[in-house]
A = this chain, B = another copy of it.
């Protein structure tokens, strides 16, 4: 706990986010269709009244891709000869392969098997399977049930529509004093799974609400709720010039709901401002975090950080995609995430944004050390024992050289940027520091 405990995410907001996640959990989200729309409508109604919801027609090009047909599902099940339901969309939307084409027929067990998905190594988990770009149909069941299936006739019903429609996403632009902007991006295409990614959805919503409530933002905030991959491509293709010119840092918000771990996904080449600020806070508040390699990326940094796009985008996560056993199964349910997990993730991201807002280069207004003693910032008595007292402020001053920005200064001095900033304010109001040009 220790340093990590110092984050102390707001429990009340944690409970609120958990409630949103609970209410959004049952919706059958996909990369298009009613589930996404209902999810975004819920966020607009409950959290972000200014959320702008955008529809993009099927067939619209996005770089090398096209928006696919829209998918609607009304029902899906497998019934055995005795009328027992082997899989049932109404029990869990994970039980049908996402984007399944419609089917309604009797099949024998051998044929059925070709359309079943289960996880032998996790016999009680229903896997999450999709087939967005290849027409097929299928069901996902636990391996335990699959092994019990007897030869015979099965009635398979998938009542879906796949037809031109649109892809839905939402954005919120919070203007700041500067055109330069910070990107927050989360994805709303995953059906009933909690850590991946209702956690990302609700934390982004809470963070957006918090930033929207601030009256004097330095940076502009671009906050997007999109279907993963195709949504990121569509969004990027529409806003590429602005994002490329203005983005100083960005965060893909995903897998931020549990309390078991902290994880970091760097940008493609690392070393951006987003990398620096994220690593700074992780080192201070979650020093045992897992530092993933970009080779292991798995979300929309795949697009935001692709060659030539190369936005400074990172991901601060808890148990990260592919890094926890429940990932992409029915076991990733609401029992995995907690109000405190959500609250601490929110707090971590807020500290990142606050540090970015405050991030400037400072320099001393005099040569040599200022005389801190007469300003009450240093012990007046020189002795062996009181020497350490003034060390911190002297060390901060030593690196206010117009070169170190707030985050680099904090790294050098060994303090979290938020603790350091109180000193900066005090020293600036004493006239000892000024912003470097």
Contacts and interface: CB of A to CB of B under 8 A. Distances in A.
Interface of A: 62-65, 97-98, 117, 119, 127-134, 136, 229, 232-233, 236-237, 240, 268, 294-295, 297-298, 302-303, 305-310, 322, 327-329, 363-364, 366-371, 373-374, 380-385, 387, 391, 394-395, 397-402, 413-414, 432
14 contacts: A63-B367, A63-B368, A128-B384, A130-B381, A133-B374, A134-B373, A233-B369, A236-B368, A295-B414, A306-B368, A307-B364, A307-B399, A307-B400, A308-B401
Query: How many copies of this chain does one complex carry?
Result: 3
Nearest to A308: B367
Contacts of A400: 307
Interface SS of chain A: loop
Given A64-B370, A134-B380, A364 B294 contact: no
Contact of A303 (B229, B308, B329, B369): B369
Contacts of A402: 307
Nearest to A310: B401
Contacts of A327: 384
Ranked 10 nearest A-B pairs via Cβ: A307-B401, A134-B380, A328-B384, A130-B382, A64-B366, A64-B370, A63-B368, A129-B383, A303-B368, A233-B368
A420 to B, nearest CB: 13
A367 B237 contact: yes
B236 A62 contact: no
Given A381-B129, A401-B307, A302 B369 contact: yes
Nearest to A133: B373
A366 B394 CA distance: 51
Nearest to A65: B371
A240 B303 CA distance: 49
A118 to B, nearest CB: 10
A64 B371 CA distance: 6
Nearest to A234: B368
Contacts of A306: 364, 367-369, 397-398
Contacts of A98: 382
A364 B129 contact: no
Nearest to A329: B384
B134 A236 contact: no
A23 to B, nearest CB: 26
A114 to B, nearest CB: 12
A368 B295 contact: no
A296 to B, nearest CB: 8
A391 B308 CA distance: 20
Most buried by B among A117, A128, A297, A368: A368
Most buried by B among A117, A132, A384: A384
Contacts of A97: 381
B294 A328 contact: no
A384 B119 contact: yes
Nearest to A301: B398
Contacts of A117: 383
Nearest to A328: B384
B129 A394 contact: no
Given A307-B399, A322-B384, 7 more contacts: A63-B368, A127-B385, A128-B383, A132-B382, A134-B380, A322-B387, A328-B384
A423 to B, nearest CB: 14
A24 B13 CA distance: 68
Contact of A62 (B64, B307, B368): B368
A34 to B, nearest CB: 20
A267 to B, nearest CB: 11
Nearest to A302: B369
